[in-house]
C-alpha cells in the first residue's frame, strides 16, 4: 500500500476557544488565555518526540516507562521553554534518562552520536515489531513486541534498522531529534542502561488539570499518527489537528468541554468506527421517538410512548429548542467521525434524541398531510422506561412468509438456530428478502452464506498493518484472517434481495460485500456506512478512551471500500407520505424484485 502524503506534511489550524478558568483536584488553576506560539511549538515538539520514542525506540527503559505519567510531567516541563535552546535542553533532560541514545538539538546544529560500549559483533540488536499498535495489551490481531537478532544477522536483515543510523526529524519549535530505531543489547539488557519512569500507582488523573488534558491529546494523536491505515482517504491535516487540539485543550474549562475537543479531533479521521468515550458522561433521558432525514427534512418515523400526544409518524420537525433542525444536526456532526455523510448523519440523528439533564424539549413541527405548524413540549424519558414499554408489545417475527412462497428474514434479529429450523421452509421459497438495515444479529455468516452459494466464497480483503517506521511511512499490509465459506446443502435457489442502508457498518458490510461481489441477489436501498475492519481501543488518563479502525479492508477486487461502502443495485428510500401511511417502502421494492416476473 502506498504511504500517505498527509502523514508527513504539516499544517496549522488555529482554533479559537473562549478563555475560562480550570480546576484540578478541587484547587483552582490560574485563569489562562491559552497557548502562545512559543508554548504551542514546545508542546508539539514534545508530542512528536513522545511518539517516536514510545513506539520506535526499543530501549528497556522506554519499553517499561509509564507513558501516561511521563506525558503529563513532560507537558508541564516543556511548555515554558523560552526558546529553541531551552526546549532542546528540557527535552534532553526528559528523554535521555529512558532513551540514552536519543539526541535533541537545535535544528541546523550537529546531532552528536553514541557509540556502542564494545565491539558490535559481540552484541544483539533490538527493534520494535508492531502489528497495528498494541494499545491495550494482548488483543485479537494487534500486538507489539521487541525483536532481537545477533548484530551480524541484523546487519544483513533489511527488517532491522541500523542502530548507528537514527531517524532524524524536525520537531518544530527550532529543534530536531535523532532517534535510533534499533539499539544494541548484551545479556543484561539494552545499552547503555537507563532508568524507567515508575508506574503511577495511586496517581489520580483529572481533566480539570491542564497538563493532563494536553497529555491526553498527545497520547491519542500519536497512536493514530503512527498506525491509522486510512490516512490516504482523509482530507484533514492530522498535523493541523494536533495544533488545534492542543490549543483547545489548554483552554477547556471542564471534562465535558474537553470531551468535545477530543471528539472534534477524532472526527477529522473520517472513520466510522472513530469514537471518544468518557466514563463521566451521562446520557440522561431521551425523546421517546425515532426520526430520520427524509426528503431533506427531519421526519418522525416512530413514536415510542403514548405520552407523545400531538406527534405522529410523517410529521416534520422544523426546530429543536429554537434552533433549525438541520443546523442542530450539523452541530452534532462536527463532533462525529464517519467515512461517509450518511453514517455521520445517522449518528447525529441518534445523538439529537438525547435530553441530557432536561425533562423536556421544545419542537416546532409541520404536521402531515395538512402542513399546519405547531409548537410542542415533548417530555423526555429514561431509556429503560422506553425499553420497558416496547417490551410489552408483541415481538415482531424475525422470519415469516410475507406472501405465498416469499419469505422475509430479518438478519438483525434472527439467530443461527432459528435460521437452521427454517431451512426446510426456505428451501421451498420462490423469493427471499433479507433485511440488513443495521447490524446483523446472532446468525452465523458461515451458516447463512453456505446456503446461498454453489461455489466456495470468501469475504473481502482484510489487510493488517505491519509497522516498522514512524509516521505511517512505508507501512506494509499483510492480508490475513478472511472468511472462507464452503457451500452446504440445502442450497436456497429462490430469487433473493437484500435490503440495506447507511446504518449497515463493519460486520454488516462484510456480509453485504459478499452479496455484492458474488451477485447473490439484488441490493435494495441506499449505500452502507463505508467502514470495515477490526477496531482498536486505547484507554487514556482521566477516564477517556478512543476507538478507531485498526486494519484496512478492500473490496474483493482490491478496490476501495472505506468511504464508499456497498452500493445498491436498486436505489430506494422512504418518503414522508410512506412513513405517515405506515408503509415500509424499501421492503415493498425488495418484494417486487423477488416476485415472479408475471406477477408484476
Q: What is the DSSP string of 343-394?
A: HHHHHHHHHTTEEET-SEEEEEEE-TTT--EEEEEEEPB-HHHHHHHHHTSP
Q: Give the pLDDT score at 394.
A: 79
User: CATH: 2.30.42.10, 3.40.50.970, 3.40.50.720, 3.40.1180.10. Which one for 285-391?
Assistant: 2.30.42.10
Q: Which CATH architecture has domain 399-599?
A: Alpha-Beta Complex (3.90)
Q: Give the pLDDT score at 308.
A: 78
To which residue does cell 421494492 refer?
589
pLDDT in tens, 219-274: 999 999 999 999 999 888 999 999 999 999 999 999 999 999 999 999 999 999 99
- The answer to whether the beta carbons of residues 568 and 500 sit under 8 Å apart is yes
Q: Give the pLDDT score at 118.
A: 53
pLDDT in tens, 147-194: 999 999 999 998 899 999 999 999 999 999 999 999 999 999 999 987
Reading the block at residue 257, the C-alpha cell is 468541554
Q: Give the pLDDT score at 598.
A: 60
Phi, psi (rounded to 5 degrees) for 325? -60, -45
d(CA 312, CA 6): 47
**How do the domains of the chain map onto residue ranges?**
5-270, 285-391, 399-599
Q: Give the pLDDT score at 379.
A: 93
Q: Give the pLDDT score at 24.
A: 35
Instruction: Assign residue 108 a region (left: φ > 0; alpha: ψ between -120 and 50; beta: otherwise).
Output: left
d(CA 377, CA 21): 35
Q: Give the pLDDT score at 16.
A: 27
Q: Give the pLDDT score at 114.
A: 57
Residue 121: exposure state from Cβ atoms within 10 A (0-12, 13-18, ≥19)? exposed
Low-confidence ranges of the chain (pLDDT < 70): 1-33, 112-121, 136-140, 195-202, 598-600
Measure the CA angle with vertex 184, ends 181 and 185; round to 5°. Answer: 130
Q: Give the pLDDT score at 2.
A: 35
Q: Give the pLDDT score at 21.
A: 29
Reading the block at residue 344, the C-alpha cell is 455521520
Q: Give the pLDDT score at 196.
A: 63
Amino acid at each position: 500500500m502506498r504511504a500517505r502524503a498527509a502523514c508527513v506534511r504539516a499544517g496549522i489550524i488555529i482554533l479559537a476557544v473562549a478563555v475560562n478558568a480550570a480546576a484540578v483536584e478541587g484547587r483552582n488553576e490560574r485563569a489562562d488565555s491559552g497557548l502562545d506560539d512559543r508554548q504551542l511549538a514546545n508542546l508539539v515538539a514534545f508530542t512528536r518526540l513522545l511518539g517516536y520514542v514510545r513506539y520506535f525506540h526499543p530501549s528497556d527503559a522506554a519499553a517499561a516507562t509509564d507513558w501516561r505519567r511521563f506525558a503529563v510531567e513532560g507537558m508541564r516541563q516543556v511548555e515554558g521553554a523560552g526558546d529553541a535552546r531551552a526546549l532542546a535542553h528540557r527535552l534532553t533532560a526528559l528523554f535521555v534518562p529512558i532513551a540514552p541514545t536519543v539526541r535533541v538539538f537545535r535544528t541546523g546544529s550537529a546531532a552528536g552520536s553514541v557509540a556502542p560500549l564494545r565491539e558490535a559483533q559481540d552484541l544483539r540488536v533490538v527493534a520494535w515489531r508492531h502489528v497495528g499498535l498494541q494499545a491495550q495489551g494482548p488483543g485479537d490481531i494487534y500486538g507489539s513486541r521487541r525483536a532481537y537478532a545477533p548484530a551480524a544477522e541484523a546487519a544483513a536483515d533489511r527488517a532491522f534498522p541500523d542502530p548507528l543510523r537514527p531517524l532524524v526529524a524536525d520537531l518544530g519549535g527550532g529543534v530536531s531529534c535523532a532517534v535510533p530505531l534499533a539499539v544494541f543489547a548484551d545479556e543484561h539488557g539494552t545499552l547503555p542502561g537507563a532508568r524507567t519512569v515508575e508506574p503511577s500507582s495511586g496517581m489520580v488523573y483529572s481533566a480539570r488539570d491542564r497538563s493532563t488534558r494536553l497529555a491526553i491529546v498527545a497520547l491519542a494523536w500519536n497512536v493514530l499518527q503512527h498506525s491509522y491505515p486510512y490516512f490516504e482517504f482523509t482530507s484533514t491535516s492530522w498535523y493541523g489537528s494536533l495544533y488545534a487540539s492542543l490549543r483547545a485543550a489548554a483552554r477547556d474549562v471542564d471534562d465535558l468541554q474537553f470531551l468535545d475537543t477530543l471528539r472534534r479531533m477524532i472526527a477529522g479521521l473520517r472513520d466510522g468506527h472513530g469514537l471518544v468515550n468518557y466514563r463521566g458522561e451521562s446520557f440522561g433521558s431521551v425523546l421517546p421517538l425515532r426520526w430520520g432525514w427524509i426528503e431533506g427534512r427531519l421526519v418522525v418515523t416512530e413514536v415510542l410512548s403514548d405520552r407523545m400526544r400531538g406527534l405522529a409518524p410523517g410529521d416534520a420537525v422544523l426546530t429543536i429548542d429554537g434552533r433549525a433542525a438541520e443546523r442542530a444536526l450539523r452541530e452534532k456532526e462536527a463532533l462525529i467521525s464517519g467515512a461517509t455523510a450518511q453514517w455521520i448523519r445517522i449518528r447525529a440523528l441518534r445523538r439529537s434524541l438525547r435530553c441530557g439533564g432536561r425533562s423536556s424539549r421544545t419542537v416546532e413541527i409541520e404536521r402531515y398531510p395538512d402542513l399546519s405548524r405547531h409548537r410542542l413540549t415533548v417530555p423526555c424519558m429514561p431509556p429503560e422506561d422506553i425499553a420497558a414499554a416496547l417490551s410489552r408489545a408483541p415481538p415482531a417475527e424475525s422470519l415469516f412468509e410475507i406472501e405465498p412462497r416469499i419469505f422475509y428474514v430479518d438478519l438483525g434479529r434472527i439467530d443461527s438456530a432459528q435460521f437452521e429450523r427454517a431451512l426446510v421452509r426456505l428451501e421451498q421459497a420462490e423469493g427471499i428478502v433479507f433485511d440488513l438495515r443495521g447490524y446483523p444479529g446472532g446468525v452465523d455468516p458461515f451458516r447463512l452464506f453456505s446456503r446461498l452459494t454453489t461455489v466456495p466464497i470468501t469475504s473481502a480483503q482484510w489487510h493488517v498493518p505491519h509497522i516498522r517506521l514512524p509516521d505511517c511511512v512505508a507501512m506494509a499490509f499483510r492480508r490475513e484472517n478472511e472468511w472462507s465459506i464452503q457451500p452446504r446443502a440445502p442450497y436456497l435457489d429462490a430469487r433473493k434481495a437484500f435490503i440495506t442502508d447507511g446504518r449497515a457498518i463493519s460486520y454488516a458490510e462484510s456480509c453485504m460485500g459478499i452479496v455484492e461481489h458474488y451477485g447473490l441477489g439484488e441490493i435494495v436501498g441506499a449505500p452502507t456506512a463505508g467502514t470495515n475492519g477490526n477496531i482498536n481501543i486505547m484507554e487514556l488518563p482521566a477516564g477517556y478512551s478512543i476507538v478507531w479502525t485498526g486494519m484496512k479492508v478492500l473490496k474483493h477486487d482490491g478496490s476501495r471500500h472505506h468511504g464508499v461502502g456497498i452500493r445498491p443495485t436498486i436505489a430506494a428510500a422512504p418518503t414522508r407520505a410512506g412513513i405517515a401511511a405506515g408503509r415500509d417502502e424499501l421492503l415493498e421494492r425488495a418484494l417486487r424484485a423477488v416476485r415472479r416476473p408475471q406477477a408484476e
